[in-house]
Chains A and B, each alone.
Chain A
Amino acid sequence: MRTVLLAAGAALCALALPLHAQQQGVTADTITVGAHGPITGPAAYIGLAGRDGMLLAIKEINTAGGINGRKIAAVFEDDGHSPTRALAAVKKLVEQDKVFVVMSVGGSNATVGAVDYMKEKGVPYYVSIASAPQVTWPHAKNLFRGGTTETARYGELYAEFLATYYKAKRIAIMSGREEYPRNEGDATVDKLKTWFQTAPVARVEFNIGDKDFTPQLVEVQKANPDVVAFFGNPAEAAIAMRQAKELGLKQPFFVGSNMVDPALVAAAKGSSEGVMGFSLIPYLPGSKAPDMTKWEAAWKKEYPNAPAGRPNNFDLLAYGDMYVLAEGMKRAGANLTTDSLVKALEGIQDYRVGSVATPRTFSTKHHIGNLTLVPMVVKDGQWEPVQWTSARESDILKRYN
C-alpha cells in the first residue's frame, strides 16, 4: 500500500511539474514580448519606427491566429538611446513585467548597456537594429541579431566598396563620437588596412547634435580625399554635406547604412544627390515595387496620422524581425521555453516574411541573421540600387569555426 501511495504521489508530482516550472512570460493563451528603443531624443526616429514596425507585425500575427494558439502581448520601454536607460528598461521587462523574450529596436549606443545583463539572465534577447559587435561576438546562446548586421560586416562591405567601386586611394572618414558611428568608422578603417593596405587620409569626429562641421570639413579638405565616408545621423549628415558644398568640397559622400533612408533626402535635399551607402533592406519605403507598395499601404492603414518620413527603414527591420521571432516561437512548438526557442531560431535558414525583408539565417555556431546589404545611390531625390556585388568572402564567420 505504501509503495502504491508513493508511486501515485510521484506521478502526481510529475504531472504537476510542468505547471510549476512554467516558462516566464508564457501562459496558456499569451506570450509576452518585451521591447526597448528610443522614442524620445535625437535617435527617436529609430525607436519610434522600430516600435511601430514591431507592433504592426504583432497585430498581423495575432489576427492570423497567433502562435500555436497563443497571442502575443507587447510591453515597450523607452531607452532614450542611453545605455543606462536601456539597462533599466531590460531589468524592468525581465524582473517586473516577466517577459519571455526581449527585443531591442534601439541603436547600438543603448543596446550595449543591456547586453551583459541579458547574457547573465539567459532570457532570449533578439536585437533588430543595433550593430554593436558585443551582441554576437563573443557568441552567447541567448543573443540574436536580426535585420541589421554586425559592425565588422559593415566594415568589410564599406571598405571593399570604397576601394573597388569608387576606386578610392584617399579616403576621409567623418564619424560621430557615439557607439554606432564610431564602430562603423573603426571597422571600415580596420578592413581598409587589412584588405587593401590603405589608411584614411583624414579621420575626424563630431558630436551628435552638432550644427557646424566647418572645423572637421577644413581638415578633410586639407587631406584632399577621393571620397568622404560619413557615419552619424541624417540630421548631421545633411548639415555637413551642405557645408562641404559651401567650402568647395566636390568629393562624393558615402554614408553609413542607417542613413540610407528617405530621411536623409528629406533633410539634405539637393546636397544628397549622388550620395551612396548600403541598405539593410531590399526596397526602401517609397519604392514602387509591388510588395513594398502593398506593405506601405498596410502600414499607413495602421498609422494614418504618421509624420513625414515614415515608414522608414527601421519600421521594416523591426517588422521583418518580429516575424522571424514569431517563426522561431512557432517552430518551438507548444512547449515554448528559452531552450526550445533558441533551438528553433538556430534552425532558421533564409527565412523572411516577404520580399520587403532580407532573409535571416542563424546556426548553432553564429547568431548573425543578415550578412547581405544592398548598395544604393541617391538619384533625382530617390534611393536607387547600384549594380555591385561583393567579390570577397566575409571574414567574420571564420571566427566561429
Chain B
Amino acid sequence: MTTTLALQLAIAGLSVGSIYALVALAIVIPFKASGVLNFGQGEIVTFGAYAALVLTQLALPYPIVLACVVALGAVGGIAIERVLIRPIVKAPEFTLVIATFAIGLLIKGAISVRFGDSPNTIDGPFGGEPIVAAGLRFNPTSLWIFGCTLLVTFAVIAFFRHTRLGKAMRAVSVSPEAAKLMGIRVDRVYRWSWAISTAIGALAGLLVAPLIGINPEIGQLILRGLLGAVIGGFTSIPGAVVGGLAVGLIETFSGVLIGSAFKNLVPFVLLMLLLVFRPYGLFGAADVQRV
C-alpha cells in the first residue's frame, strides 16, 4: 500500500468515523447523566436529516437550517423526556431501554408514513466537488463534519467541566438521591441531558445527509455509534469520539487489507478482543466504591 493510498483511506475512514463519533456522543450524554441507554438515538439522527430536507426545500440558508435542526432536536428531546420517559423513569433499566427502542420505532414509522422510503439527499454547505491537495482528495463536507465533531466534543467537555448544569449532570450520574439532597433539580438535569443529546443527534442527521443520503434506514447507524461508545468506555466523551473514529478507520482499512466482505465484521472482532483486555473500553474505568 502506498503512502498516498494509506492517507486517502485515512481520510475516508475519518470521514465515516466522524459520523459514528457524533452518534456515539449522542448516545453517551444521556447515559452519563441519567443512566438511560437511548436505543432511539439512531432515529433522532434520521429525524434531523428529514428536518434538514424539509427546511432546505423551503430554500432557507444553511446556517438557518443548522440552527433550526439543532433547536428542533432539542425541543424533540425535551418532549420525549417529559411525555414518554419521565412517567417511567423509576422503572427498571431494561424497561427504559425498551421504551427508547419503541420511541425510535415510532419516529421511524412516522417518517416512513410522511416521507415514504425513497432515498433523498441535500447539498453540503461547501458543495460536492472534492478539494485536491498534495495528491489527496478531500470531500469538503467530510472536513466540515470532522470539524463539527471536534467542536461539539470540546463544547460538551467544557460544558461538563465548567457549567453548573454540566456539573449537576455529573453529580446526578453518580447518585441522583445525593444530588437531590444537595439541591440539584434532578428532573431538570434529565430534561437537559435529553435536549443536548437529541440536539446532537439531529445535528448528526443534518451533517451526514449530504454524504449518506436521507432515508428512513439512517437509524441503523446506531449500531456503529454503540460500537464506538463501547470502545471508548461508554461514559467518556473523548472516548466516544475516539471510538467512533476508530470504527471508521478500522472498517475502511480492513476492507482494503483483508477484503470488503470482512469490513463490517472486523470492528466487532476487535471490540471483543479489546474487551477481554480492557473490559471498560479505552477511556472507561470501573466504578470505585468506598467501603
A204, B262: Cα distance in complex, Å: 12
Q: Report whether B255 and A238 are in contact in the complex, using a CB–CB cutoff of 8 Å.
A: no
Give the residues in chain B near A40, CB-CB below 8 Å. 112
A332, B8: Cα distance in complex, Å: 63
Q: Is A269 an interface residue (CB 8 A)?
A: yes
- Within the complex, the shortest CB–CB distance from A16 to chain B, in Å, comes to 49
Report A's interface with B, CB cutoff 8 A: 40-42, 44-45, 48, 204-207, 209-212, 214-216, 218-219, 233-235, 238-239, 242-243, 245-248, 263, 266-271, 306-310, 312
Give the residues in chain B near A235, CB-CB below 8 Å. 119, 213, 215, 217
Q: Report whether B120 and A267 are in contact in the complex, using a CB–CB cutoff of 8 Å.
A: yes
Q: Which of A239, A246, A306 is the one whose CB lies under 8 Å from B212? A: A239
Given A239-B213, A247-B8, A267-B119 contact (CB < 8 Å): yes
Give the residues in chain B near A268, CB-CB below 8 Å. 121
A73, B170: Cα distance in complex, Å: 60
- Within the complex, the shortest CB–CB distance from A213 to chain B, in Å, comes to 8
Q: Report whether B256 and A263 are in contact in the complex, using a CB–CB cutoff of 8 Å.
A: no
Q: Which of A206, A210, A243, A308 is the one whose CB lies under 8 Å from B12? A: A243
Among A233, A234, A239, A307, chain B packs the most CB atoms within 10 A around the CB of A307
**Besides the known contacts A215-B254, A269-B123, A307-B118, 6 further A-B residue pairs in the complex with CB atoms under 8 A apart:** A44-B112, A44-B117, A211-B212, A219-B260, A270-B128, A312-B118
Residues of B95-148 contacting chain A, CB below 8 A: 112, 114-121, 123, 128, 130, 137-139
Q: Is B33 an interface residue (CB 8 A)?
A: no
Q: Report whether A212 and B12 are in contact in the complex, using a CB–CB cutoff of 8 Å.
A: yes
* Shortest Cβ distance from B221 into A: residue: A211
Q: Interface range on chain B: under 10, 10 to 19, 20 to 34, or 35 or more?
A: 35 or more
Q: Which of B217, B248, B260 is the one whose CB lies under 8 Å from A209? A: B217
A41, B219: Cα distance in complex, Å: 11
Shortest 7 CB-CB contacts between residues of A and residues of B: A215-B255, A309-B118, A307-B116, A267-B119, A44-B117, A214-B12, A235-B119
* Shortest Cβ distance from A42 into B: residue: B217
Q: Is B206 an interface residue (CB 8 A)?
A: no
Q: Report whether B115 and A308 are in contact in the complex, using a CB–CB cutoff of 8 Å.
A: yes
Instruction: Give the secondary structure class of B's interface.
Output: helix
Given A45-B116, A45-B117, A218-B5, A248-B137 contact (CB < 8 Å): yes
Among A204, A205, A215, A219, chain B packs the most CB atoms within 10 A around the CB of A215
Given A48-B117, A266-B119, A246-B137 contact (CB < 8 Å): yes
Give the residues in chain A near B286, CB-CB below 8 Å. none
18 contacts between A and B (CB under 8 A): A42-B217, A44-B116, A205-B260, A209-B220, A210-B264, A215-B254, A215-B259, A215-B260, A216-B255, A216-B260, A235-B119, A242-B211, A263-B119, A271-B128, A308-B118, A308-B120, A309-B116, A309-B118
Among B119, B216, B221, B252, chain A packs the most CB atoms within 10 A around the CB of B119
Q: Is B16 an interface residue (CB 8 A)?
A: yes
A307, B112: Cα distance in complex, Å: 9
Q: Which of B116, B138, B221, B252 is the one whose CB lies under 8 Å from A215? A: B252
- Within the complex, the shortest CB–CB distance from A284 to chain B, in Å, comes to 13
Convert B138-170 into 0s and 1s, putting 1 for each residue whose CB lies closer than 8 angstroms to a CB of A.
110000000000000000000000000000000
Q: Report whether B121 and A269 are in contact in the complex, using a CB–CB cutoff of 8 Å.
A: yes
* Shortest Cβ distance from B115 into A: residue: A307
* Shortest Cβ distance from A245 into B: residue: B130
